[in-house]
Amino acid sequence: MSFLRTAVASAALLALPAVSWAGGFATVDFQQALNDVNEGKIVQARLEGMYTEKKKVLGGMEQQLMAMQQEYEQQALVMTPDALKAKEREMMQAQMVYQQELQKAEMEFQAQYNKEMEVLLGKMADICEVIGKEKGFDMVLERNAGVVYSSGPDLTVDLVTRYNATHQ
């Protein structure tokens, strides 16, 4: 779907008369800018900390599951059929809780990531618009959003510098 949108947008841009693009266009690499701005590094560290903490908790749960499995295997031959069924139910319940916690952690992480990126990218888009206008460009394209066949200026360094100066 995004390929189709990019193709249609590219065709529309090519169909426009050259006069309307007198200021030309520039590009920016938002992914590189996210990695390079100071606030992006802080957000990345915060997200990595969140991931590490969740990984510790889930790792502990996984170790408990492995210990339960090992205990089950060691005692299976001497357990009564009822005790075996009870142990299997206990293990299945623990596995379900683990899977739910894993899914919950992934959803929480993704929600936090999306929230952080929305804020950062919103600030960057605003700054990029200002830089583009100051430099007289009609349009600033995200370098990774489509195929760009141009030697137009890359505003990524300007964006990172201005962002760091504005948002300390």
DSSP secondary structure, 86-100, as one string: HHHHHHHHHHHHHHH
Does the structure show a pLDDT above 70 at 20?
A: no
The pTM is what?
0.71
Q: Is the dihedral of CA 37, 41, 47, 50 positive or negative?
A: negative
**pLDDT score at 15:** 44
**pLDDT score at 144:** 81
Tell me the angle at which helices 156-166 and 81-134 cross, rounded to the nearest 10 degrees: 100
Please give the domain boundaries of the chain with CATH numbers for all domains.
23-166 (3.30.910.20)
- Give CA–CA dist 12/2, Å, rounded: 15
